[in-house]
Amino acid sequence: TIDDLPNDFPIEYSQPIFSNKIESQSLPAYLNEVEKSIIIETYNETKSTWKTAEKLGVSQSYIVRRFKKYHLRISDKKIIED
pLDDT digits (tens, 9 = 90+) for 15-51: 555 555 556 788 999 999 999 999 999 999 999 999 9
Counting other chains too, the contacts that 10-17 makes at CB distance below 8 Å and 24 or more residues apart are: 13/38, 13/41
Output the CA angle 60-67-70, nearest 5 degrees: 145
Whether this prediction's pTM lies above 0.85 is answered by no
